[in-house]
Structure 1
Amino acid sequence: MKTRTTYGFALLMLFVMACASGPRSQATPAELAAFEKMISDKSFQVDASWAQPMASQGLNSIANAGLLPRGSSASRIDIAGSGGYLRIVGDSVMADLPYFGERQMGGAYNPQKGGIQFNGIPKEFTIEPNKKGDGKTLRFNISQNQEGYRVIAQIYPSNYTTITIASTHRTTIWYQGTVSEYEREK
């Protein structure tokens, strides 16, 4: 009987957690206006705090060896102190994000530049309202050093952001972070 009660309680807790609200939260009208202005001005930066690489045997081996930051796993890596970002300024996009995953095609090995880095004017840049909720979806393609990237970013007024980057040379990776207005250096 006690086992049945324990399982029932665990199932109830799982159901309650599954029904909890996600990253989207109700924003005030002032927050929504500031969010819309930041997006329409195309002057913002996403600071990545988590990387979510595709699971692979190589990443599992690294995790099992204890080589990932504390609190990380092979499928979710804490990158909060890395300085990783995706920046949109006018018509230009810039990114410098750490990469965890597997390279699918050969390329020059440079231990100083192993992450996802690009800087330039993207192709097929679109900003659309999210299908669900009150955020925006950014999509664009960009190439850098013979490698092409397809980037999709979901940005919410709560400043929560997810980024998906598919590469022509590497496995897909996802990032989570926060968005803020980009302050140009003077």
Structure 2
Amino acid sequence: MKTLFHTIFTVALLFFVTGCSSVYQATPEEVAALDKIARDQHFEIQAMWAQPMASQSLNSIANAGLLPPGSTASRIDIAGSRGYLRMVGDSVMADLPYFGERRMGGTYNPQQTGIKFEGVPKDFSLEPVTKGKGYVIKFNVNQGAEAYQVVAQLFPNRTARIAMSSSHRTNIWYQGNLAPYERKE
């Protein structure tokens, strides 16, 4: 099972890295701001788009007109959901909407259908990308019986991508905006 997760994340990361090459050139100020965010490990990614794995079920939902306007079965607008992945020091938190299928049995709580976790990640790594500017963050975290593997890419233009793999659900990807995290009192 662990080998399957590793293979899926390697393929997903390869697609992300090859798909992110563009003509955009980051300014020195943008690169310095990203370096500070990464160094401080005090940031938040506000999810704007969810990209679930395509399935017949999601296509049926899209064909029935049950997705938000402008969304497709493979790209869903979640800007109004307030979904986030947050890193504060050595802790990570997430509250992201989930679209996909459950792969393994488990308890079902209708009040908690999204991806939620909070804790200190295991196998954490933060490395600069090998080509271009940006950082790749990888970690594992457990929430109850469910385990998550997360790969997040941070870019100088204040955008980010998240690949989320779960022990109980199909994989999903998110795109969003990156900002330093400021605790709201």
Q: 1:178 is matched with which residue?
A: 177
Q: 2:101 is matched with which residue?
A: 102
Deviation string for 1:142-180 (max 9, x for gaps)? 000110000000110101111000000000000000100
Deviation string for 1:11-44 (max 9, x for gaps)? xxxxxxxxxx856732222221111011100000
Q: 1:57 is matched with which residue?
A: 56
1:131 Cα deviation from its structure 2 partner: 2.1
- 1:28 aligned to 2:27? yes
Listed as ranges, the gaps of 5+ residues in structure 2 are 1-19
Q: 2:16 is matched with which residue?
A: none
Counterpart of 2:104, as a letter, is: M
1:113 Cα deviation from its structure 2 partner: 0.5
Q: 1:162 is matched with which residue?
A: 161
RMSD (Å) for aligned C-alpha atoms: 1.3
SS in 2 for 1:32: helix
Equivalent pairs: percent with the same residue? 61
Q: 1:14 is matched with which residue?
A: none
Q: 2:145 is matched with which residue?
A: 146
TM-score (normalizing by structure 1): 0.86
Cα 1:183–1:43, aligned 2, differ >3 Å: closer, same or farther? same
Q: 2:37 is matched with which residue?
A: 38
SS in 2 for 1:81: helix
Listed as ranges, the gaps of 5+ residues in structure 1 are 1-20
Q: 1:73 is matched with which residue?
A: 72
In structure 2, distance between residues paired with 1:31 and 1:102: 38
In structure 2, distance between residues paired with 1:83 and 1:28: 29
In structure 1, distance between residues paired with 2:50 and 2:29: 31
Structure 1 runs, 4 residues or longer, greater than 2 Å off: 21-25
1:185 Cα deviation from its structure 2 partner: 2.6
| Residue-pair matches, total | 166
